[in-house]
Amino acid sequence: MARYDTLSQLDAQSLSGFDMIIDARSPGEFAEDHLPGAVNLPVLDDDQRAEVGTLYAQVSPFEARRKGAALVARNVAAHLETALSDKPKGFKPLVYCWRGGMRSNSFAIILASVGWRTCVIDGGYRTWRRTVIEGIERTAPGLTLIVVDGQTGSGKTVLLHRLAERGEQVVDLEGLAAHRGSAFGAEPEREQPSQKAFETGLWSVLAGLDLARPVFIEAESALVGRCRIPAPLWEAMKASPRVEVRVPAGARAAHTLETYPDMVGDADRIADALDRLIPLHGKAKVAEWRALAEAGAFRAFAEALILEHYDPAYTRARKRQKDGPAAVVEAARLDKAWLDSLADQLLTAAKRLVRS
């Protein structure tokens, strides 16, 4: 019988040694989460997996295995004739399924029979999941975090991007969560990842950080949209110094319109977001904001939301914190020159905070 190897240590170095990481699970399992860079070549699709599972539970394990074997052979043959048809003799694939069982082993036997240097993840996706959880738990407490805080529209996310362009270490939680962190924060044409996929993305970033250097991260609530920041990182953020970005309300309103151009042209999304604010502000106040949006007065609409909803919420949240900001950086506007100034101020503050 063709032989294949197993891999139990999952890190960037070990994973980089393979030409392709093959996720043999069903498309539904793959969509929930998968190893970074993995390609989904399912040996059973979602319906077939359900069919085999039903046979196992209601008829017999033997009938389920016989049916499953036929489906697996057919599906792997299709992959060999399509996605794998151009792979050379020295091709080195890594295969995994849910727990390193029959699906990945069946696939690996066939790939090894071709002559490819095939490897299976010992324990499958569950091994990867443990790697992610343990990695975040181990790494987060050792990070030297600088938490970039500030009221809505103060350019925190774009400031993080500016720092990343300068070679600084940044964790963009909103980017990882595909959400801009407010009632209007859902991103068009991009669904939020599952919690597991969010944590996989987060660990992929954390694993590449130099723990001897500071890491800039935006202040967030525990939830970014529906994605929850893992407790070890959340606790580290709460214990880390905050640098507050202060920008006038008018400039923040203008920046908000630049940040949410998709919202301006989508009356239904505005209406849905405003409906979620009714329990907090009442129908009369929300009707005032709705009227501004319907009249196309988006600058006044954005400024009203900032002054009457977001700023008071920010003030209430900060009152619950024991300590004030460790430093403050300020800008009159959020154009390129002022963003560069904010980045300079933030780096200066960070150097001082790291030394202290």
Domain's final residue, options 97, 122, 147: 122
Q: Are 94 and 155 contained in the same domain?
A: no
As a 3-state breakdown, the chain gives helix, strand, coil percent values, each rounded to 5, of 55, 15, 35
Cα separation of 283 and 299, whole Å? 21
- In one-letter notation, the amino acid at residue 300 is A
pLDDT in tens, 78-117: 999 999 999 999 999 999 999 999 999 999 999 999 999 9
Which one-letter DSSP state was computed for residue 209?
Answer: -
Q: Tell me what pLDDT residue 186 has.
A: 67
How many structural domains compose the chain?
2
Q: Are 204 and 308 contained in the same domain?
A: yes
Q: Are 182 and 211 contained in the same domain?
A: yes
Q: Tell me what pLDDT residue 197 has.
A: 98
Q: Is 70 exceeded by the pLDDT of residue 185?
A: no
> Is residue 131 one of the residues assigned to a domain?
no
> Is residue 132 one of the residues assigned to a domain?
no
The pTM (predicted TM-score) of the whole model is: 0.91
Q: Tell me what pLDDT residue 22 has.
A: 98
CA dist list (Å): 337 to 264, 331, 332, 334, 344: 26, 10, 10, 8, 11
Cα separation of 115 and 3, whole Å? 10
119 has catalytic annotation:
no
Mean pLDDT confidence for 12-39: 96
Work out the burial of residue 42: count CB atoms within 10 Å of its CB; fewer than 13 is exposed, 13-18 middle, 19 or more buried: buried
Q: Are 328 and 239 contained in the same domain?
A: yes
Cα separation of 101 and 346, whole Å? 50
Domain's final residue, options 61, 96, 122: 122
Residue 317 binned pLDDT confidence (cut-offs 50, 70, 90):
confident
Q: Are 118 and 258 contained in the same domain?
A: no
Domain's final residue, options 122, 150, 175: 122
Question: Considering only CA atoms, which of 35, 10, 16, 2 is closest in space to residue 105?
Answer: 2
Domain containing residue 213: CATH number: 3.40.50
Residue 184 binned pLDDT confidence (cut-offs 50, 70, 90):
low
Spatial CB neighbours of 232, under 8 Å, sequence gap ≥ 6? 136, 137, 140, 141
Which one-letter DSSP state was computed for residue 307?
Answer: I
Beta-carbon-side half-sphere exposure of residue 223 (alpha carbons within 13 Å): 8
Q: Are 179 and 325 contained in the same domain?
A: yes
CA dist list (Å): 165 to 169, 180, 240: 10, 20, 23
Which one of 97, 143, 247, 286 is the catalytic residue?
A: 97
Domain containing residue 76: CATH number: 3.40.250.10
> Is residue 145 one of the residues assigned to a domain?
yes
Residue span of the structural domain in which 304 resides = 139-355
| Spacing of C-alpha 70 from chain mean position | 37
Q: Are 229 and 147 in contact (CB under 8 A)?
A: no
Q: Are 290 and 241 contained in the same domain?
A: yes
Q: Are 97 and 168 contained in the same domain?
A: no
